[in-house]
Structure 1
């Protein structure tokens, strides 16, 4: 298994089961151990997303997000360049887990935790591949409350067949595992104080994607992408 050094750029790709890339996100490696890969980014980090998804983020339109999922199901999307903004991100991804734990930071410190349900990691030359399975868990910064997010979109991708029955079973298992981690205060939640105190290393420039993207139709390239 390829390992990474602290400070190295790693690209997190979302790869559809057809092999097509759905998203790319440039991250900076913080640690790479047998337990988990830990990576981070700050405003200015390079990303690429389907053009409809970028449009939905710019305009705040849920209907456009639905169109993006429809395009995914039909295999008809183009990637557009975007830039991460507003928050710093610290990500914890165990190699075989069907989720990652993410912490979002603003100038006031840790804003919230965000558990992204997704495929296990597949290492690549430039970083690692996974695939977002739509449903997420938002957790209060002090771990006192939580709520599931995007259940409506998850139901939609289930109807489209984007999330298969086998993946659905893995999603349900991941839900239980994450809630158990919260209850037992394990994983990154075991050291919540240290995570709360973390901030981006100012000596590190914002990570960049290693390859230029072909411009998407409609002039969407170069947009800014808000955090979740």
Structure 2
């Protein structure tokens, strides 16, 4: 499949193994190379989330997140239209990696690095498909400290069978790889200064989902 062009809108979809869409997120391409796809969004970017997950974010109620995972295990959920809020996002996704490296920015600058552990990407005509495997790594802006996030939810989705033993092994290997990259200052961490000073291109409007199309998860 051909590379995406800088400035092009792409859609990051999370697709459950059942084939149902768990979420959609409109992004703009910053760069697309054999090493990684780099994409970004700003507040106002269009998304679709599971309705229970959207409620959890709106209410600050983590128990609703557990309900969302329980619904995921049953294969039955509803999606809700939403928009990205508060932060600018820059992400780095190698095609075969079980993770993506993300950076979140506020008006004060780089807030933190955030590593999602997720399935390798599968290119589509409109972007790529993956699936977030719940556990995350939060890294300080200056790369001097880090902490694991959502280990409790990861244990829950493991119990539910959402993350298989094979995927768990891949996540463990990916954790080691990311920590090695951080220690070696490789991957995006090799150019941390450029990432720290990055800002959304104001010539780009917030990306929109193509046609607000109906999907398998609707």
**TM bucket, shorter chain:** over 0.9
**How much has 1:111 moved relative to structure 2?**
0.5
Aligned counterpart, 2:204: 204
Aligned counterpart, 1:78: 78
Does 2:34 correspond to 1:22?
A: no
Residue correspondence of structure 1 range 101-180 to structure 2 within 5 A:
101-180=101-180
CA distance in 1, matches of 2:213, 2:45: 15
Q: Quick check: 1:44–1:206 contact (8 Å CA) kept in 2? A: yes
Q: CA RMSD in A?
A: 0.8
Aligned counterpart, 1:224: none
CA distance in 2, matches of 1:151, 1:20: 25
Secondary structure of the residue that 1:177 maps to in structure 2? Answer: helix
Deviations 1:150-199 (A, max 9, x none): 00000000000000000000000010000000000000000100000000
**How much has 1:74 moved relative to structure 2?**
0.4
For structure 2, list consecutive stretches of 5 or more residues without a partner in the other structure. none
Q: Quick check: 1:80–1:213 contact (8 Å CA) kept in 2? A: no
Aligned counterpart, 1:66: 66
Aligned counterpart, 1:4: 4
Aligned counterpart, 1:95: 95
Does 2:45 correspond to 1:45?
A: yes
CA distance in 2, matches of 1:13, 1:212: 13
Secondary structure of the residue that 1:85 maps to in structure 2? Answer: coil
CA distance in 1, matches of 2:37, 2:78: 29
Aligned counterpart, 2:57: 57
CA distance in 2, matches of 1:2, 1:13: 19
**How much has 1:213 moved relative to structure 2?**
5.6
Aligned counterpart, 2:34: 34
**How much has 1:2 moved relative to structure 2?**
3.0
Alignment size in residue pairs = 214
* Runs of 4+ in structure 1 over 2 Å off: 211-214
Q: Quick check: 1:2–1:123 contact (8 Å CA) kept in 2? A: no
When normalised by structure 2's length, the TM-score is 0.97
Deviations 1:203-223 (A, max 9, x none): 000000013266xxxxxxxxx
When normalised by structure 1's length, the TM-score is 0.93
Aligned counterpart, 1:222: none
CA distance in 2, matches of 1:205, 1:59: 28
